[in-house]
Chain A
């Protein structure tokens, strides 16, 4: 099945640093979602984006829906140890099976105190 290209694959940063990660696709999407997964747990929805160019924040997290509808970015400002985990992007289109999510392979974030 189709997959998104998510980068970087992993990041090792110092507490307090800002983080950026992105997803790109060869297909356009109507929706971009960002999830965070803690070890051994299910992913938790962080941000949902529904309009090209949309910029949405959730606390220290900011995500953008690329203007071409083929990419999305997630930024985390002033990272803290509990930001550790795997971040997944997901894209989809509306309606029926097209509403199914296509997931990236994830960005594993490690934060040094």
Chain B
């Protein structure tokens, strides 16, 4: 059953703590993406990776970090430097046609 999984679905953290969000895909896609979604807003790109061991900053990378050690996995760390981390985080992947991105179910992060 191919797809993109994100875990956990809901995450609560105290202010000042780093937290890592998981994203795994078994679609054999080369490219993976992390987006942030706030109420009433579109999707904003945080980081993306087009190949293993390489990644690029998106529009709002400050306060976030990523790694791409395996093709299947693209974890996102929300650091304490991110001033407003409470949001809905979406991971996506894309195959040969980069334009068609497929999304995971999302992780809702709440920082208390």
Contacts and interface: CB of A to CB of B under 8 A. Distances in A.
Interface of A: 1, 3-4, 6, 30-31, 33, 35, 40-45, 48, 88, 92, 94-97, 99-101, 103-106
Given A42-B105, A97-B56, A48 B99 contact: yes
B99 A31 contact: yes
Nearest to B103: A42
Interface of B: 4, 6, 31, 33, 40-45, 48, 50, 56, 58-59, 88, 90, 92, 94, 98-106, 108
A30 to B, nearest CB: 8
Contacts of B59: 1
Contacts of A94: 98-99
A40 B108 contact: yes
Contact of A101 (B88, B101, B104): B101
A1 B103 contact: no
B29 to A, nearest CB: 13
A105 B43 CA distance: 7
A101 B99 contact: yes
Nearest to B91: A42
Contacts of A4: 42
A43 B99 contact: no
B50 A42 contact: no
Contacts of B44: 1, 103
Given A42-B4, A94-B98, 14 more contacts: A33-B99, A35-B103, A40-B88, A40-B108, A45-B100, A48-B100, A92-B98, A96-B50, A97-B56, A100-B45, A101-B101, A103-B44, A105-B42, A106-B42
